Amino acid sequence: MGDKWTLLVVRDLLRGRHTFKELLAADEGIPTNILADRLKKMAAAGLIKGTPYQDKPVRYRYELTARGRDLREVLAAVALWGKKHIAGTRVAPEFRR
49 pLDDT higher than 80 = yes
8 CB-side CA count, 13 A: 16
Q: Residue 90 burial (CB < 10 Å; 0-12/13-18/19+)?
A: exposed
When pLDDT is averaged across residues 19-28 and rounded to a whole number, the result is 95
When pLDDT is averaged across residues 27-35 and rounded to a whole number, the result is 94
What sign has the CA pseudo-torsion 7, 1, 70, 53? positive
- Give all domains of the chain, ordered by start, each with its CATH number: 4-95 (1.10.10.10)
- Whether the Cβ atoms of residue 70 and residue 13 lie closer than 8 Å to each other: no
- What 3-state DSSP class applies to 43? helix
2 pLDDT higher than 90 = no
